[in-house]
Structure 1
Amino acid sequence: MHSQVEIVRLEDSTNGTLGALRVRGLVLCCTLEPPSLDNRQFVSSIPAGEYHCQRTHSQRFGNTFEVRNVPGRSRILFHPGNTVEDTSGCVLLGRHFGSLQGRRAVLRSRDACRDFLHQFQGCESFWLHIHPVTECRA
């Protein structure tokens, strides 16, 4: 089982919640979730905290991982997509941040998902720690 898997949240706005997925302190890829909307099913980002992730098969996305034990939520998957319109409360993965049609986005998502699955090859589950957005003050 992998240790020290985390999403470090960088930005939370009406355009979505952007972060970096790190494994053992090293950034693997970027993340995009919907904005924080009180953990409402299908429309909100995952609240900060610790969650168990289990390998699963999705008819739409194939082999992936599901974030479990999120109160009041189910079937939160890691999968490809670019903007918040591509997710129903799941975590989108990308190689870098960008913009599509004037919206915040993660780009090269299929490549990032392939890298993510390769990183967790042979792993059936892991613990994920999600950090809240923090403000840096100079």
Structure 2
Amino acid sequence: MHKKSVIVVRVDHGLDGTFGRMFLPGGADRVSVEPPWRDNRTAVSCIPPGKYECEINESPHFGLCPEVLGVPGRSHVRMHAGNWAGDVEAGRRSDSEACILPGLRFATLDGQPAVSGSRAALAELLNAVADGDPRPGTRFDLEIIDATGEAGREWDDGTR
């Protein structure tokens, strides 16, 4: 059995977050939001675009969710449920400290751009990468492509 892959194509960015399209194994087309690019700073920036390995594990705070491994200078980057990923330093609401929040659709919640249906999208992601049996230790590949030209524009690891 070959390892599954998830692709996130970042399509928009700003103080309200970095928004993307998330393509799951099996063809489902979902959405995502991450914090804005802030030079890969811990807890406030989306991660550099590139290829990563992810492992499903149990987070004390978020429960069963994927962790993005091998992020340069970072740890505990996860894909978990949430709605907002705005720039907290600019007063925006955020459920993400540099994590990727999956969603079923883009939405505006309490006046701020966000994603909705996040718990359902996370369950769909977990099932898609683990053939319907998500459990700790399951690994899959993640590729993040920045189509905005913003997040990580000075980042060049040869994958872009």
TM-score (norm 1): 0.89
Q: Which residue of 2 aligns with 1:111?
A: 120
Give the Å deviation of 1:54. 1.0
RMSD value, Cα: 1.7
1:65 aligns with 2:79: no
SS at match of 2:121: helix
Q: Which residue of 2 aligns with 1:55?
A: 56
Q: How far does the alpha carbon of each residue in 1:36-82 deviate from its partner, in whole angstroms, 9 at most, with x for none?
A: 11110000011110111011110111111100111111101111100
2:100 maps to amino acid: V
Q: How far does the alpha carbon of each residue in 1:77-124 deviate from its partner, in whole angstroms, 9 at most, with x for none?
A: 111100011010101111000111221100011111111111123461
Q: Within 5 Å, which residues of 2 pair with 1:70-85?
A: 70-84=71-85, 85=94
Kindly indicate whether the alpha-carbon contact (under 8 Å) linking 1:4 and 1:25 is maintained by their aligned counterparts in 2.
no
Count of aligned positions: 135
Q: Within 5 Å, which residues of 2 pair with 1:1-138?
A: 1-24=2-25, 26-84=27-85, 85-121=94-130, 122=133, 124-134=138-148
SS at match of 2:82: coil
Give the Å deviation of 1:130. 0.4
Instruction: Give distance in 1, aligned partners of 2:126 and 2:21.
Output: 16
TM-score (norm 2): 0.78
SS at match of 2:79: strand
Gaps of 5+ in 2: 86-93, 150-160
Instruction: Give distance in 2, aligned partners of 1:25 and 1:49.
Output: 21
Kindly indicate whether the alpha-carbon contact (under 8 Å) linking 1:28 and 1:116 is maintained by their aligned counterparts in 2.
no
Residue identity (%): 37
Gaps of 5+ in 1: none
Kindly indicate whether the alpha-carbon contact (under 8 Å) linking 2:4 and 2:129 is maintained by their aligned counterparts in 1.
no
Q: Could you list the structure 1 runs, at least 4 aligned residues long, displaced by more than 6 angstroms after superposition.
A: none
Q: How far does the alpha carbon of each residue in 1:3-61 deviate from its partner, in whole angstroms, 9 at most, with x for none?
A: 44210111111110001111358344211100011110000011110111011110111
